[in-house]
A and B are shown apart, each in its own frame.
Chain A
Amino acid sequence: GQQVMQIPQYQHVQEGEDFTTYCNSSTTLSNIQWYKQRPGGHPVFLIQLVKSGEVKKQKRLTFQFGEAKKNSSLHITATQTTDVGTYFCAGYNSWGKLQFGAGTQVVVTP
Chain B
Amino acid sequence: DTAVSQTPKYLVTQMGNDKSIKCEQNLGHDTMYWYKQDSKKFLKIMFSYNNKELIINETVPNRFSPKSPDKAHLNLHINSLELGDSAVYFCASSQRGNTIYFGEGSWLTVV
Q: Which residues of A pack against B, CB within 8 Å?
A: 33, 35, 37, 41-45, 48, 86, 88, 90, 92, 96-98, 100, 102-103, 105
Contacts and interface: CB of A to CB of B under 8 A. Distances in A.
Interface of A is mostly: strand
Quick one: which of A42, A96, A105 has the most chain B CB within 10 A? A42
A42 to B, nearest CB: 4
A48 B99 contact: yes
Interface residue range, chain B: 10 to 19
Contact of A90 (B100, B101, B103, B104): B100
A39 to B, nearest CB: 10
A105 B41 contact: yes
A40 B103 CA distance: 12
Most buried by A among B41, B97, B102, B104: B41
Nearest to A100: B43
Interface in B42-90: 42-43, 45, 56, 90
A36 B105 CA distance: 14
A43 B102 contact: yes
A92 B97 CA distance: 8
Contacts of A45: 99-101
A27 to B, nearest CB: 16
Given A96-B97, A98-B97, A44 B41 contact: no
A43 B97 contact: no
Nearest to A105: B41
Contacts of B42: 102-103
Nearest to B40: A102
Nearest first, the 10 closest Cβ-Cβ pairs linking A and B are A42-B102, A100-B43, A45-B99, A103-B41, A43-B102, A96-B97, A86-B41, A42-B105, A42-B104, A102-B42
